[in-house]
Amino acid sequence: MDPFPIEDRAGLSPEALSSLRRAVAAQNTLQSAVRWALAQGYRLLDVIDQDEFTRDVVFEMEAQHYLVYDAT
């Protein structure tokens, strides 16, 4: 089982998905996730508050490909 589940809705190649799984496994805070994503050149699109504890953080990886963190 992955430390953080990844739901591949884009149909990534096995190599790309494996690389993403390794990167996410090394992230233990939202701050580390944001730093990693920005270092990859991903664009922060939005932070959506779901309630007082939960937010979704949306990055555009490339045209029509997005990475969304569900952070609590």
Residues 42 and 57: beta-carbon distance below 8 Å = no
Q: What integer pLDDT is reported at residue 1 of this predicted model?
A: 47
Residue-wise pLDDT for 23-39, tens only, equals 888 898 889 999 999 99
Residues of the chain with pLDDT under 50: 1
Residues 37 and 23: beta-carbon distance below 8 Å = no
pTM (2 decimals)? Answer: 0.82
Residues 27 and 36: beta-carbon distance below 8 Å = yes
